Structure 1
Amino acid sequence: MTTILVTGGTGTLGRLVTERLRAAGHEVRVLSRHAQPYAVDLREGGPGLDAALDGVDTVVHCASTPRGGDEQAARHLVGAARRAGVRHLVYISIVGVDQVPFGYYTTKLAVERIVEESGLGWTILRATQFHDLVLQVLEYAAKLPVMPLPAGVSDQPIDVGEVADRLCALAVGDPAGRVADMGGPEVRAFPDLARAYLRASGRRRGLLNVPLAGKAYRAFRAGGHLAPERADGRITFEQYLSTRPGARV
């Protein structure tokens, strides 16, 4: 079996990727800022990164943050991977990073370019938003008596476990370049998603569609972040909500 390094291996996606690869018999190293013995801040690099990559065949790069530093982290990772002779670098990105001029999306697209130009064998998978993130947005909006929602915007949430399964399959295969996008099973308008959340949580809120301004909002309204032709996911938003503590779905 191969030795695989998962960056961000304690995060929402990386943890599941790690568990699945280990269950399949692979030796998996977890790299994150606080996970010993490979506690490394990718934004800073350093000798700890070289040690983490020593003898590694494949890297699954899940580490990411909207707070900044992803491009610097990717450059450090690529440099160390080259020195270590890594065969395959797998990166998880987001559907629409080349269509929606949203800050975090722009950064993810820049990291894609770093991976593509790395000189390593590479695979990039773009997925739509996880159910978890959509739930966080709705929970935040529900703190108000009336939930503000972006007018005219839909989403296509996908189960993080299904994305983890796909990443694992890609990681144990050969470098494949940019593979087909992966989307959730349904494209849903935000009010529809909000009503599903309210039913599941037993809460009562009014809904307020709020028109926004800017190029990013127009791109979201146009569906630049959606992949309806790649509705590969099976778990719906309601099914995801039904697994949450206290769910009433």
Structure 2
Amino acid sequence: MRENILVTGGTGALGRHVVDRLAAAGHPARVLSRTRGPHIGDLRTGAGLGPALDGAGTVVHLASDPRDSSADVEGTRRLVTAAPAGTYLVYVSIVGVDRHPLPYYRRKYEAERIVEDSGLPYTILRATQFHNLVLLALETLAKAPVLFVPAGTSLQPVEIEEVAERLVELALGDPAGRVPDLGGPEIVSFAGLARTYLRLTGRRRPVVPLLLPGRVAAAFRRGAHLAPDHPDGRGTFADFVAATSGRSGDGTRAR
């Protein structure tokens, strides 16, 4: 177990849970931030990484940006270059990045390889899509009078706090290379998730599957992003939406 933990992306949705859980376990972490002290640093430029890494025995690398390739590939390269020899690196990735053509997934896969080739002790955890991201997508799609969803596509959403729990366990343990994937407890069609969302939020929309063209859509239909052998998560998407919306499992308002 290594003391003095630095978390990149520690102010994000996953990072906040990781930082809180580390503190609860008696291991308060440093948080690398571009704007908030005391550990100000920028993975996009490398500024401030040296001081932030000074004395850190473990780095939990969560910083990521689907819109900006520099946050994942170049940022990871800068991080491993600046990290002192022997620094233990824990990296969170996404299930299927090695077999999916989505550009963001390919960048995550390249970042994985940078970690593996860094010479640093490391652990890589791949997880499926988070409940909150699926919910955000459905909230956006439901703004239209008809809720269109990708046809033939299923998801295996996982609770973000469970991913944080696993990352903390890995950060406080020994380097293990690439560990088994962490998937949600259920594989559900996108249309099924949409209907669950509508029922539990009391909304009415027709759900219409659309067959989308292209290699990315085909990979999603193939299930390249799923971990059917690792349905290890506990909380379901219905549990999450019910808790978020304040409704019970049958869609009525919880008291």
Q: TM-score if structure 1 supplies the norm length?
A: 0.96
CA contact (8 A) 1:202 1:248 kept: no
Deviation string 1:63-90 (CA, Å, 9 cap, x unpaired) is 0001111111111111111xx3343100
How far is the alpha carbon of 1:41 from its aligned partner? 1.8
Cα distance between partner residues in 2 of 1:217 and 1:121: 36
- The runs of at least 4 aligned residues of structure 1 exceeding 3 Å deviation read 245-249
- Distance in 1, Cα, partners of 2:246 & 2:27: 36
Aligned residue in 2 for 1:60: 60
Structure 2 contact 19–28 (Cα < 8 Å) conserved: no
The separation in 1 between residues aligned to 2:14 and 2:181, in whole angstroms, is 17
**Aligned position for 1:188:** 188
Instruction: Answer whether contact 2:158 2:236 (CA < 8 A) is retained.
Output: yes
Aligned match of 1:21: 22
Contact 1:199 1:248 in 2 (8 A): no
Which residue identity does 1:43 align to in structure 2?
Answer: R
Shift of residue 27, structure 1, vs aligned partner: 3.5
Aligned residue number for residue 77 of structure 2: 75
- Cα deviation, 1:118-174, whole Å, max 9, x if unaligned, reads 110011000000001100111111010001100000000000000001000110111
Q: Aligned residues, how many? A: 246
SS in 1 for 2:163: helix
Letter in 2 for 1:16: H
Deviation larger for 51-60 or 85-94? 85-94
Aligned alpha-carbon RMSD (Å): 1.1
Query: Where does structure 2 lack aligned partners over 5 or more consecutive residues?
Result: 250-255
TM-score, scaled to structure 2: 0.94
- List per-residue Cα deviations over 1:21-72 (Å, max 9, x = no partner): 11111131001222211122211112x1111110000000000001111111
In the alignment, which residue of structure 2 is the partner of 1:108? 108
Question: Aligned partners of 1:129 and 1:245: how far apart in 2?
Answer: 20
Aligned to 1:128: 128
**Aligned residues of 2:201 and 2:245 also touching (Cα < 8 A):** no
Matched with 2:42 is 41
Identity of aligned residues (%): 57
SS at match of 1:124: strand
Q: Residue in 2 aligned with 1:225? A: 225
Give the Cα–Cα distance (whole angstroms) in 2 for the partners of residues 247 and 32 of structure 1. Answer: 36
Q: CA deviation at 1:246?
A: 4.3
**In 2, distance between residues paired with 1:31 and 1:242?**
33
